[in-house]
Amino acid sequence: MTQLRYTKDHEYIRVDGEIGVVGISDYAQSQLGDVVFVELPAIGAKFQLGGEIAVVESVKAASEIYAPVSGEVIAVNAELENQPGLINEEATGKGWLFRLKLSDPKEFETLMDEAAYQAFLKSIA
């Protein structure tokens, strides 16, 4: 069963089994504005929870993306190289950044679910 969770840095991870699809939330892309460049991690790279894993640049700013869980990068969204705007169009769909093989699935349980993330957004508005 697929589950979606969020970090306080506005990354999301959708997990199915031991594989997670990571990107930035719709809120994050709306705050960044038009995304013009994405620096993706290398396939095979291993990251710890909270480690800097990618960069998303917009016309406004560059934003570091942090690993929402520990794991190994097994795929990247190569379409973003030529179409970084996919993040603006569909942040939690076609605009995903990379896939991770989770090294500690328990870390996923510590992230916010949709209701908690929406409450968090209201608290920072």
pLDDT value at residue 52: 97
55 contacts 38 by C-beta, under 8 angstroms: yes
- Residue entry with tokens 């710890």: 48
pLDDT in tens, 32-42: 999 999 999 99
Q: Does residue 23 have a pLDDT over 90?
A: yes
65 contacts 51 by C-beta, under 8 angstroms: no
> Which domains occur in the chain, in start order?
10-90+101-124 (2.40.50.100)
Q: Which residues face 52 on adjacent strands?
A: 66
85 contacts 96 by C-beta, under 8 angstroms: no
What's the pTM value of the predicted model, to 2 decimals?
A: 0.95
38 contacts 28 by C-beta, under 8 angstroms: no
**Mean pLDDT, to the nearest integer, of 92-121?**
96
